[in-house]
């Protein structure tokens, strides 16, 4: 078996162990691409609870994206303050909505016809929308095979040595992970990173991935 074949085999093994542990996840298809983009901007550097509270507050304050686009950045910031970084996020949201309104309408359905990479790059043209946010919207709301990488995904896949030193996580995972597995695998890696493979104190003894984790095995051998 070549190194690449071995890596792919390990990746599929990790995917399967995490599915056994956490169970299958159905994709939430109820949200529009624009809703997903705004929600993902709100989620930057905060937890799901604060993000959800900020989103609820946004829609208690405004009745439509038109109203949000017409509001000042200060008014938007006030509405979303539970998400933190509210001034920066308000600027991003206002920029997205005014940009869309000037170029056609308050939706992102025009991205449906573009390829995955092109969609991802188009989303990053909005100020304040980075690689991860653009990848989440591409994959979650537009069904484009782009693998989103956050701090948990980066840490877990590095410790498992699924990503080699010097490789780009986003590019490598987008290339390696089958399209149909991306959504669930992404969410499972995040959950595993939050609950078990924590940044400071990974729970290697209890980890379902220990058998094939070089970092965990080394750590336990040293203990
Ligand atoms: S064995 Fe430890 S380092 Fe490896 S994935 Fe599990 S928790 Fe993370």
pTM of the model: 0.91
Lowest mean pLDDT among 11-20, 23-32, 143-152: 23-32
- 20 shares its domain with 112: no
Q: Dihedrals φ, ψ of 86, to 5°? A: -65, -30
The domain in which residue 176 lies consists of: 3-26+148-222
- 137 shares its domain with 181: no
Tell me, what CATH number does 65's domain have?
Answer: 1.10.340.30
Tell me, what CATH number does 175's domain have?
Answer: 1.10.1670.10
What atom in ligand 1 is closest to the CA of residue 214? 4
Structurally, the chain folds into a number of domains equal to: 2
**CA-CA distance, 124 to 117, in Å (whole number)?**
11
Two tokens, residue 26: 């159905």
What atom in ligand 1 is closest to the CA of residue 155? 8
| Residue 206 alpha carbon to ligand 1 centre in Å | 9
Using CB distances shorter than 6 Å, the residues near ligand 1 are 156, 159-160, 196-197, 202-204, 207, 209-210, 213, 215-216
- 90 shares its domain with 111: yes
| Residue 160 alpha carbon to ligand 1 centre in Å | 7
Q: pLDDT tens for residues 96-121? A: 999 999 988 999 989 999 999 999 99
More confident residue, 63 or 165: 63
**CA-CA distance, 69 to 73, in Å (whole number)?**
9
Q: pLDDT tens for residues 121-161? A: 999 999 999 999 999 999 999 999 999 999 999 999 999 99
Two tokens, residue 170: 């986003």
Would you give the distance in Å from CA 18 to the centre of its chain?
A: 17
């Amino acid at each position: 078996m070549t190194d690449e074949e071995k890596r792919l085999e390990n990746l599929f093994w990790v995917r399967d162990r995490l599915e056994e542990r956490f169970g299958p996840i159905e994709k939430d298809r109820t949200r529009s691409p624009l809703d997903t983009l705004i929600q993902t901007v709100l989620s930057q550097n905060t937890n799901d609870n604060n993000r959800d509270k900020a989103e609820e507050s946004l829609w208690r304050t405004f009745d439509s994206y038109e109203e949000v686009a017409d509001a000042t950045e200060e008014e938007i910031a006030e509405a979303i303050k539970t998400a933190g970084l509210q001034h920066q996020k308000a600027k991003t949201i206002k920029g997205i909505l005014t940009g869309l309104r000037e170029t056609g309408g308050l939706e992102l359905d025009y991205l449906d016809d573009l390829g995955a990479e092109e969609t991802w790059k188009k989303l990053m043209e909005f100020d304040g929308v980075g690689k991860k946010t653009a990848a989440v919207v591409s994959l979650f709301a537009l069904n484009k095979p782009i693998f989103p990488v956050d701090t948990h995904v980066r840490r877990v896949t590095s410790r498992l040595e699924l990503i080699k030193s010097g490789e780009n996580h986003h590019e490598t995972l987008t290339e390696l992970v089958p399209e149909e597995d991306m959504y669930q695998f992404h969410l499972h890696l995040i959950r595993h990173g939050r609950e078990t493979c924590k940044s400071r104190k990974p729970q290697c003894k209890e980890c379902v991935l220990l058998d094939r984790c070089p970092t965990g095995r080394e750590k336990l051998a040293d203990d």
